[in-house]
Structures are given as structure tokens and as C-alpha cells.
Amino acid sequence: MKLAILSREPHTYSTKRLVEACKKRGHKARVLNTLQFAIDLEEGDPDLFYRQRRLSHYDAVLPRIGASITYFGTAVVRQFQQMDVFCANTADGILNSRDKLRCLQNLSRHKIGIPATTFVKDKKDVLPAITRVGGAPVIIKLLEGTQGIGVLLAHSQEMAASIIELLQSQKQNVLIQKFVSESRGRDIRAIVVGDQVVAAMRRVAQGQEFRSNVHRGGKTEAVELDEAYKETAIRATKIMGLGVAGVDMLESHEGPQIMEVNSSPGLEGIEACTKLDVAGAIIDYIAARVDFPEIDIRQRLTVSRGYGVAEIIIPEGSKFIGKTIVESGLKEKDINVLTLHRGGKVIPNPRAERQIESEDKLLCFGKIETMKELVPERTRRRRRPKLKKLPEIDI
């Protein structure tokens, strides 16, 4: 395999380790400076130039895109994807995880632990928002901070409101988040590669500090994660659409709660702490996946006119309940069931003999008109009632 590592830092520990792991396995690796690409667009022929010369063939790409070059960096990754080169992390995956709001928005429709978080613009909404996430002390976060720099703990509502007002006046977007005090300055960093957690550590903040980032002086210890933590980290990585990620989780009373997902996790801290070959695991994953570049469903499947992807929810009393997929007659109606979602579990490619149950969600590809008939008005998505009774008004 010939691998391109997109990075502006060829001499950092992480990049050097990735190149070394690649060579050790008999692959070729080159570190390419993300900012020295030119993206050429022509009808039917997406292309890339590197330092003014047409880029030679690469089998795979490992993007290590820093926050300061997100726009250009993800454009380069997207171009590799258009050229059908396998990218360990896709442009959309990187963008989904880059900003903390977008990351939590993507996670929040799934059954996955996250700290209660809110995002407001209007000054009048600030105090009620703080109350909704549990009141002071409360966490305030910049959307794109790293290394703990953009994370603050406000001890009173008034303090929180003034900090938010100040940041907003400087055109900064901020999240208001419940302070998970029981985590006591500790968090978990899990490195997910493909479908597995390949290494994990606990970071412990020192002294009065509540942030456990290594850059804030946090000390690390290797941990063997239990299933709930592993499962949460892997699912979050999948929901982001990433192949390689560093997932940060708090250890709350309710179990794992995700704070953020990083698409270019540093390797130095985790390898030093766990003594595991994380770089090697990343390279092995890429080598195994080289022949399966990510296919953009929207771009490929829904190009056919009149066809699309829809989720059919099976309501109580539906005529489909108790029938198998083959008996449901969906196939004859030109509808294919891609996945079946049942109580938080996903069954990919469900077999024809599988029985349909009430509340199942069938992700289908087929004729839009026919699928419309299968979604009776009363089952179209409704807002679920809140567990905690909050005032609602009709607008």
C-alpha cells in the first residue's frame, strides 16, 4: 500500500510513529503538507496537484487536519474521496466532529450518553438555559477550543451570564453545559480504530484544576474499559462517520458521557501511557480497508430519479407486525430494507425471514412514491414528551 499522511507537521511524534509503523509493515508512506495541494475540477475528472505537479497514485489517505486549516484541509480530503481513494477519516467525518456543538447535535438523537448541553444566542435565553442544564456551577465552552483552553467553570449563574455575554460580544459562539462534578477532574480518552477501542487511558487533573487535558497538567493512567464505555466510544465514532478517533468521555453517575470526538488524536500520550502500538493498529486498519473507499450514499444512491432513502417506522397495530420481511411484500414494491433499528440496536442487511416487530424502524431504499404510502400521516415523526415536565407553548 502507498499511504499519504496529510499533515503540516512531519516531525511530530504522531507523524513519525505513523510513518515508521507503515514502513515496518512493508508499506510506503509519504507525509504531504495539506496546504501545498491544488484542487483541480474538470467535468468527470477530479484531480489533485501537489507542489505544482500532478499527484501520483496513492492507495489510501490518513488525514491529520489541524483546527486552523479545517476548510482547506477537508476540501483536500473530499477531493481524494471524489477520486475513490480510501480516506481513514472522511471530510464529513472531520467536519462533524470538529465543532463541539455539531458533534453533540449528531449524537443527541441516539441513545448515547452526553452531558446536558444548550446553545443560545439571545441574552434573555442565557439564565433559563443555565437552569435547564442544572444551574451553577456550570461549564461554558467555546465550540472549537482544544487542549482545554476554551473550557471554563462558572461558579454562579451571574458569573456564567457575564462570561457568556463577554464571549458573545467578541463574536465567540459558546456552549452551556452541565458540570459533571462526580467525574472529579477525571476523564477517559479512548482511541477507536474501525470497530474497536485499541487503547484507553484515564486523565486526572492536578490540584484545583477541573480540566484533565495533558496540556493542562493532567496525569495519565492506562485503563481497561468496561463494555459500556467501549460501546459508547465506538458508536460515537461511527455516528460521526470516522474510522480513527480519540473519544473523550466523562465518568458520570449515569455511565459514560461523551464530551467530544477528535479526528486527529495525538499518539504520544496514549502510547507512552499504555505501551500499546496505536500507530500500528491505525496502519493495519487502513491496509485492510484500502479496497473499500467510503461511498457517499447521497451522491450515489439518490441520483436515480424518483428513488431515495427513507425510514419507515412500524406503528402499533401495523399490518406488517408479525410478518417476515419477505412476507411484507416490500421487495415487490421495489423497496429494499438496508438496516433494521430495534430498541437502540442496529441489524444490518436484515434477512428475508426476520420478523417485523412493533416500533421497528426500517431504513429503506426504494421508490419515493411507494414509500410515502407506507408512512401513514399519524406515524410521521412526532416530538416525544419530555421526561422532565418543561413548559411548552404552541408556536
Ligand X SMILES: Nc1ncnc2c1ncn2[C@@H]1O[C@H](COP(=O)(O)OP(=O)(O)O)[C@@H](O)[C@H]1O
Are the C-beta atoms of 21 and 280 separated by less than 8 Å? yes
Partner that binds at residue 256, options ligand X, Mg ion, none, CB closer than 5 to 8 Å by kind: none
Stretch that binds ligand X, among 44-52, 128-136, 174-182, 378-386 (CB under 6 A): 174-182
Question: How many C-beta atoms lie closer than 10 Å to residue 144's C-beta?
Answer: 16
Report the DSSP pairing between strands 335-342 and 255-262.
unpaired
Partner that binds at residue 180, options ligand X, Mg ion, none, CB closer than 5 to 8 Å by kind: ligand X
366 lines the binding site for ligand X (CB under 6 A): no
Closest separation in Å from C-beta 172 to ligand X: 14
179 lines the binding site for ligand X (CB under 6 A): yes
Nearer to ligand X, 213 or 232 (CB): 213
Residue 355, class by beta-carbon neighbours within 10 Å (0-12 exposed, 13-18 middle, 19+ buried)? middle
Instruction: Compute how many residues bind ligand X; rule: CB under 6 A.
Output: 25
Closest separation in Å from C-beta 219 to ligand X: 12
Positions 100 through 139 that interact with ligand X (CB under 6 A): 115, 139
User: What are phi and psi for residue 127, nearest 5 degrees?
Assistant: -65, -45
What DSSP string runs through 234-297? HHHHHHHTBSEEEEEEEEETTEEEEEEEESS--SHHHHHHH---HHHHHHHHHHHHTT-----H
Nearer to Mg ion, 99 or 248 (CB): 248
Partner that binds at residue 37, options ligand X, Mg ion, none, CB closer than 5 to 8 Å by kind: none
Are the C-beta atoms of 5 and 266 separated by less than 8 Å? no
147 lines the binding site for ligand X (CB under 6 A): yes
Closest separation in Å from C-beta 259 to ligand X: 4
Stretch that binds ligand X, among 145-153, 265-273, 284-292, 350-358 (CB under 6 A): 145-153
Torsion of Cα atoms, 107 then 314 then 379 then 349, to 10°: 50
User: What are phi and psi for residue 286, nearest 5 degrees?
Assistant: -65, -45
The amino acid occupying position 48 is L
Closest separation in Å from C-beta 199 to ligand X: 17
Answer for which of 17, 78, 211, 235 binds ligand X (CB under 6 A) is 211
Q: How far apart are CA 25 and CA 60, in angstroms?
A: 15
Comparing CA positions, the residue from 320, 297, 298, 301 lying closest to residue 379 is 320
- In angstroms, the first-to-last Cα distance of the chain is 57
Closest separation in Å from C-beta 264 to ligand X: 12
Nearer to Mg ion, 90 or 212 (CB): 212
SS3 of 210, please?
coil
173 lines the binding site for ligand X (CB under 6 A): no
Closest separation in Å from C-beta 191 to ligand X: 15
Q: How far apart are CA 115 and CA 177, in angstroms?
A: 7
Partner that binds at residue 274, options ligand X, Mg ion, none, CB closer than 5 to 8 Å by kind: none
Closest separation in Å from C-beta 370 to ligand X: 45
- What x-and-dash track marks residues 213-232 binding ligand X by CB under 6 A? x-------------------
Question: How many C-beta atoms lie closer than 10 Å to residue 318's C-beta?
Answer: 20
The CA distances from residue 65 to 73, 102, 173, 297, 369, in Å, are 6, 17, 22, 24, 42
Answer for which of 107, 250, 261, 314 binds ligand X (CB under 6 A) is 250
Long-range contacts (CB closer than 8 Å, 24 or more residues apart) made by 70-73: 70/94, 70/95, 70/98, 72/34, 72/35, 73/6, 73/34
How many residues make up the chain in this entry?
395
Nearer to ligand X, 79 or 237 (CB): 237
Question: Residues in the site for Mg ion, rule: CB under 5 A?
Answer: 248
- Radius of gyration from C-alpha coordinates of the chain: 23
Partner that binds at residue 271, options ligand X, Mg ion, none, CB closer than 5 to 8 Å by kind: none
187 lines the binding site for ligand X (CB under 6 A): yes
Answer for which of 81, 96, 118, 177 binds ligand X (CB under 6 A) is 177
Nearer to ligand X, 70 or 146 (CB): 146
183 lines the binding site for ligand X (CB under 6 A): yes
Partner that binds at residue 150, options ligand X, Mg ion, none, CB closer than 5 to 8 Å by kind: ligand X
Interacting residue ranges for ligand X, rule: CB under 6 A:
115, 139, 141, 145-151, 177-180, 183, 187, 205, 210-213, 248, 250, 259-260
